[in-house]
Chain A
Amino acid sequence: MARDQALSLLAAANNHGDLAVKLSSLKQAKDILFSVEPSQAAELFSYLAELQSSPEPLVRKYLLEVIDDAGAKGSEHLVILFPVLLTFLKDNNPIVATQSIITGTKIFSSVLEELALQFQRRGIVQRWLEELWTGLIKFRDAVLGIIFEAGPIGPKLLSIKFLETFILCFTLDSTEFDMCNPEVIARQGSMFNVSWIADSHPILNPHALMSDANRHLEILLEILLSASKLPGCMTITAVNSLVAIARKRPVYYKTVLKALLDFSPSIEMAKGRHTVSIQYSLRTAFLGFLRCTHPIMTESREKLLKELRAMNAGDAADQVIRQMDKIMRNNERASRELQFSKDDQLSSQLHISGELTKKRTAQLDNENQNNIFEASSKKSRHGPHNSKTTTASDAKQDHVNGISAKPPVLDGDLTPVEQMIAMIGALIAEGERGVESLEILISNIHADLLADIVITNMKHLPKNPPPLTRYGNLSLNHPSDTSDPAQVVGSNGFATSTQSLDHLAQLPASSLSTTSGAVSDTFATANLSTDSKRDPRRDPRRLDPRRLVAPTDMSQTYVVEENVGTVQHPTVEPDFNPVSSSSVLLSAPQSVPEFAPQPLPTIETDINLPDSPMTIEVDEPIQKYEVHDFDANVITPDKDANNYLHLSPSSGKEEDVVSPASMDLAMLDEAYSPSSEASDELPPDIPNVEASESASAELPVLPLYIELDEDHQIRARRLALERIINKYQNSQRTDIKQTQIALVARLFAQIDVSDVIEMAQKLIISDYEEQKGHELVLHILYHLHSLVISDSASSAAAVYENFLLGVAKSLLVDLPASNKSFSRLLGEVPNIPDSVLGMLDDMCTKSHSGADGRDGDRVTQGLGAVWSLILSRPFIRQACLDIALKCTVHPKDDIQAKAIRLVSNKLYAVSYISNSIEQFAKNMFLSAVDQHSSDALLSESAISDRRIGGQVEGAETSTSGSQVSEPEISPDETMKGVLDDSSNIFSQAHRHMSLFFALCAKKPVLLQLVFDSYTRSSKAVKQAVHRHITVLMRALGSSYSDLLHIISNPPQGSEDLLTQVLHLLSEGRAPPTDLVVTVKHLYETRLKDATILIPILSAFSRDEVLPIFPRLVQLPLPKFQMALAHILQGSAHTGPALTPVEVLVAIHDISPERDSLPLKKITDTCSACFEQRTVFTQQVLAKALNQMVDRTPLPLLFMRTVIQAIDAFPSLVDFVMDILSKLVNRQVWRMPKQWVGFLKCISQTQPHSFKVLLQLPSPQLESALSKYPNLRGPLAAYTNQSSIKTSVPRTTLVLLGLASETQMQQPHAVSSLHASDGPTST
């Protein structure tokens, strides 16, 4: 039943036309298939498998899902279905192909597991599984083929993933390191790995499979190699798979890492791939490795970090490392706690260390404590029964770490520095594992703090001077005798950790025997646990010469310990002194009796200090030592012998051994960096030294303290500084630099040698920007400054000043003017001494020797610095302001211009100094007006400025004083010599006013002062004012409105200035309304001078102009012409106020009597108009005359104008004749003034005027002819022409002698008629 149903459903799935039906049929069929009896199912499954040829991708995909389910159920029918997977691998639909790989991979894993487990449990393997496995091997080969075949990418990605699975399955899962994260562990079950397979497995051969896995890994690596030909996503997938393999199977880590590292540079070439993502996949890979705690991966941390930093992923890497460290620390703490409790018992048995522990105070260096613990524990455990020196290192290391990791006195109120030291100590105690963290910690410590740590730690320096030989052995350039084997051993024992062991081993071992073993052991421990484990180049502390001692002195901490005690309780424990303390302490009950007291004095006595009087011992003892096997008494002088006597009875040999070592170190320290001795950072030194000296009287005196003479000290300091600075230059790493900076700063504070300063300067400046020279300088300066503050008597102030000045000067000389370093330096230094201000002043005001183009830049630079100082340093604000202000009156134009720009544009806007600036500018302006000596004035202003500025330090007073006298004297003296030269006055006045006018541009109200003082100014000064105001007004532009107040109420005598201002304000544009109103009001109320109206005339309307027109005419001609231009120009809106015609008429309308204008003025004005022929053209004249001729009365100057018109434009003659005719009609003879002109015009225009002349009545004609007799002849001749004669009245003819007297009556009548007409028309 079920079978039939399933068959029909499968048939439907295969044949039905509708996809939805197919899928739902298939789904139902599947449900049936998994529920029917296995015997039936086999047949059905084979039918199902036939669906693989279905044309529908979705059907095929669903078929895969069925197979997937079957695989998950572990059904043996998989054998039937599995071939489908192989077919589908080649499916043309990538989704189906992809899905088949997925399904195959899953089946692969489950089958493998089943295979292994079945054999384990039952000892047999079912046949179907065997068959399936054969199929799977085929499947694997097919999948491998897909990767490099051409085809869709989707299946390839899954093929890679399959490879990953395969490799993971067939490699040993030796560790669970990747699962450091509990979250991860919880989530992941344990996965199959090759160890599950029993060796005797019938089908699976683990070894063959493992070698298969190796081959497959190579395929993955191959993908990386051919990445440039593959799509980016394949490369990324391959990288991810490799990373997964490496993280889960650390055996492959190195191979994978190498491949990835080699791969990174070749990425660049890939085109058509998203290279950023490929690059990023590497980054993710490396970060992933960093997260792993497997030792093999932690080993390569360094390399990974470097690589990540190169990818700019340093931050991410650091973060990961911090996380991991935290996790690790937590893990370790748990395990350590156990260990500690155990070891604690051990160490408590040791009286020495126990005592020490009790005595220890909170301020003690924890580093030392740890090492004490290390040393002591080692002594207890290994000392008694160590027969081989070479056993020292690794085996013990862990144990030591276990003990000392938790310093007993860690808690308590520690200062941050001490806490840091404690932390460093704790990390050192971690041994190998702590090194990484320590490095990170140190690289993250701020340089200042690190320096403080070093300094603090130096309190624990031994007082005993060690021989210099070690220094020489450390490959530094001190000459030393390295031929001595013992010496080599001793030094190397300190310097290079494990090496010392080798050396020791090579020594005449018999002579050294167990004791030497202990020595080296101790040494080695100390060293192993500290610096030497680190890459020495990376340890910033190494660069500190003083620091060098800190790690090594751990081996003899108790000496230090006692030293501290001595210092603190000198009276209580007088017998405790640096030298004897060790012995005193060591005489504690703890002894190791089975060992003869056999100190190694040779090491300590072998002092070979070049250049110093301290060369106490020679090589000879060593020879003896070697030969005579610790014959101390022979070796050493009595001092040493005493020491031994004191020591030997009760103390363990280790202690003895240690103490010389400590001296060794101390000596080294002194020799290397004597400055530390001299520095006040080590206050305990002095009492210690004294104590030791006093002690030396009764106790053996060891080479204690080398009192270097002055020369040596200086030399050594310089040497140290030189070295650091040289290193500084070369080193690229910023974290080292930070430390170096701090150290150099401190060293500087102790050195007052000027040539060192210079040397440093040079180096600092040589690469100011890149090499962090700025930071270095600031560090030094701040340090020096802090010294000055703490001790006002110290010479640091002078050093500070010298150094700052030097650096500043070098910056100026060496860097281009555009460089901001100079100004930045001045802005950030703690204090600016007077000399620097003086320099700044010089820079701004004096041109430097080379008068090339750079000067200007220097001035800009100087002013820029001044500016920033004014803004940022209130204390010297006034002094700097003075410099800037002084530059504003500098005779050199460019300096002045720059200074004025600065002051007016930038500084004046600053509220707290604007008053001073204003006051200064005012003073300078007034001085120019009153022509004071600028010298006197400058000082005056400086003083007044100071008053305004409030409290100014005394230092600055002197500065400003000097600034006043220095730069200004020379120009002024020359000035005085030629004082009467007005151009000089002008230029001086101009110069002194510049600032003020520049300020006026910002604050126009200030102009009031200009107006007020204008009257009393000399001509040259006025000239200067005019020039300035021109510029100013143009600059002011639309912000003139502040001026309206001044304009509306100008002081007496400032009219010229006012006029100029008005002109400038209305120049090139329509005068603004408010200005017009103001000026009009002024004109109407106070200032009856039409001149001031001229600039605004263009804004006037016709009705406004006409009333004032006479006043304009009254002005001097040039002004009138200007006014005329304005009137005719008019405004853009309204057009000209008057047309030229109207102007002419207006002029003629002026009545001399009424307007109280001299006639001459009017005629001149008229003539002036006629001169402007382009404006007053023929047409204009004609039109004007035409208008005026009808006026009654005729304008006074009418006839004059007519005559002028005909003179100017002869072609107007006909028009003029018409005018004249009109005048005849108006009986011009009755207007005596016009009549004269009329006749003159007639005379001038003959013969054209004859016609008009003939129109005159006879009496008037007669009077005309009598006035101009020469007219008679031509007129008679003209009249005698027949055409005219007829129309001429008889009386006229008679008058001309062309007719007889008898006919005289008629024209009389005419004439009387005319006469009677005349009055009516007038």
Chain B
Amino acid sequence: MKLRHAMVCSSNQNRSMEAHWLLKREGFDVASYGTGQHVKLPGPSLREPNVYDFGTPYKQMFDDLRRKDPELYRRNGILPMLKRNLSVKTAPQRWQENAADGTFDVVLTFEEKVFDMVLEDLHNRKHVLLKPVLVINLEVKDNHEEAAIGGRLALQLCQEIEAAGNWEECVDDLIMNFERQNHRKLVYSISYY
């Protein structure tokens, strides 16, 4: 049984894309989203982030930042990240606008706030299909190193869920085992499409 996975962070750039990239490489059926209002990338200072709308192609951001300050954005890893992203998909997508993308079986979020937003969004959708969706939060700091670790953990988690067959039957054990093995705290919830 092949599950559909969604990786969600706030800007659909770093954490979710790292996981998306890894899972895609491993042959998973996976998509990725952000829950923020905009796509935000670090700028020259904390107060001046680069803000884009969801749907702006990664390529466009890449060109934009390379034009602005290639040295800075190469050094802080933004350009390499964008390059990676544009090899995965065209543009960042917003979770709240993904109704057309169909249903997912497993949604992995990488931040509590994102988790809350996904759940609230799912709550507000009309539950027509009554298809259960497992939403799991795996807290990952928003930097390149942590994202790489988080991506691997996400992959492992998805593999375990996929291997379990019916996650409904064993989700508690699965989550607790994963926590024990990786010393990570997870939170899950169940919603419906």
Contact = CB atoms under 8 A, between A and B. Distances in A.
Interface of A: 94-95, 98, 101-102, 105-106, 152-154, 157-158, 161, 181, 183-184, 187-189, 191, 231-233, 236-237, 240, 243-244, 247, 272-274, 276-277, 280-281, 284, 287-288, 291, 316
Contacts of B128: 106
B130 A102 contact: yes
Interface string B121-153: 001111111111000000000000000000000
A206 to B, nearest CB: 23
B120 interface: yes
B113 A233 contact: no
B131 A102 contact: yes
12 contacts: A102-B129, A102-B130, A232-B171, A233-B168, A236-B190, A240-B123, A240-B190, A272-B173, A274-B175, A274-B176, A274-B188, A288-B120
Contacts of A244: 123
A259 B189 CA distance: 19
A233 B130 contact: no
Nearest to B126: A188
A277 B188 contact: yes
Contacts of B119: 284
Contacts of B190: 157, 233, 236-237, 240
Contact of A161 (B124, B130, B172, B189): B130
A368 B176 CA distance: 59
A287 B116 contact: yes
B189 A152 contact: no
B172 A233 contact: yes
Interface string B82-114: 000000000000001001000000000000110
B126 A187 contact: yes
B168 A153 contact: yes
A530 to B, nearest CB: 35
A582 B116 CA distance: 57
Choose among B99, B124, B126, B176 the residue with the greatest number of A CB atoms under 10 Å from its CB: B124
B172 A231 contact: yes
Given A233-B190, A276-B187, 4 more contacts: A106-B130, A154-B132, A158-B132, A183-B96
Which of B96, B113, B130 counts the most A-chain CB atoms under 10 A from its CB? B130
Contacts of A102: 129-131
B185 interface: yes
B48 interface: no
Given A240-B189, A276-B187, A316-B116, A232 B126 contact: no
A161 B128 CA distance: 11
A157 B132 contact: yes
B166 interface: yes
A247 B124 CA distance: 10
B123 A158 contact: no
Given A102-B130, A191-B126, A277-B188, A316 B113 contact: yes
Q: Interface SS of chain A: helix, strand, loop or mixed? A: helix
A154 B166 contact: yes
Contact of B189 (A101, A153, A191, A281): A281
Contacts of A233: 168, 171-172, 188, 190
Contacts of B172: 231-233, 272-274
B169 interface: yes
B28 interface: no
Contact of A277 (B166, B169, B187): B187
A146 to B, nearest CB: 13
A152 B124 contact: no
Nearest to A273: B172
B191 interface: yes
- Top 8 A-B pairs, shortest CB-CB distance: A154-B168, A232-B172, A184-B124, A102-B130, A280-B187, A153-B168, A274-B172, A277-B188
Contacts of B192: 161
Contact of B130 (A95, A158, A191): A158
A467 B190 CA distance: 63
Interface of B: 96, 99, 112-113, 116, 119-120, 123-132, 166, 168-169, 171-173, 175-176, 185-192
Contact of B120 (A105, A154, A231, A291): A291
A261 to B, nearest CB: 19
B175 A277 contact: yes
A465 to B, nearest CB: 51
A247 B112 CA distance: 22
A187 B123 CA distance: 12
Contacts of A188: 124-126
B124 A181 contact: yes
Contact of A153 (B131, B169, B175): B169
A187 B168 CA distance: 28
Contacts of B120: 284, 287-288, 291
Contacts of B188: 233, 236, 274, 277
A362 B101 CA distance: 55
A144 to B, nearest CB: 17
A158 B125 CA distance: 17
B189 A187 contact: no
Given A158-B132, A188-B126, A276 B185 contact: yes
Nearest to B129: A102
Given A233-B190, A274-B176, A316-B113, A161 B171 contact: no
A652 to B, nearest CB: 53
Given A244-B123, A274-B172, A152 B166 contact: yes
A183 B121 CA distance: 10
B168 A284 contact: no
A516 B176 CA distance: 69
A740 B118 CA distance: 40
A288 B124 CA distance: 10
A833 to B, nearest CB: 39
A149 to B, nearest CB: 15
B126 A152 contact: no
A161 to B, nearest CB: 6
Given A102-B130, A277-B187, A288 B123 contact: yes
Contacts of B116: 284, 287, 316
For A101, A161, A273, A284, which residue has the most chain B Cβ atoms within 10 angstroms?
A284
A244 B122 CA distance: 11
A176 to B, nearest CB: 13
A287 B115 CA distance: 12
Contacts of A236: 188-190
Contact of B169 (A94, A105, A272): A94
Contacts of B131: 102
A236 to B, nearest CB: 6
B131 to A, nearest CB: 7
Contacts of A277: 175, 186-189
Contacts of A284: 116, 119-120, 189
A324 to B, nearest CB: 12
Nearest to B168: A154
B127 A161 contact: yes
Nearest to A156: B168
B54 to A, nearest CB: 15
Contacts of B171: 231-233, 274
A97 to B, nearest CB: 11
Which of B169, B172, B173 neighbours the largest number of chain A CB atoms within 10 Å of its CB?
A: B172
Contacts of B112: 316
Contacts of B191: 240
Nearest to B125: A187
Contacts of A101: 130
A154 B169 contact: yes
Contacts of A157: 132, 168, 190
B121 to A, nearest CB: 9
Nearest to B122: A240
Contacts of B99: 187
A898 to B, nearest CB: 41
Contacts of A288: 120, 123
Contacts of A232: 171-172
A999 to B, nearest CB: 41
A158 B128 CA distance: 13
A272 B175 CA distance: 11
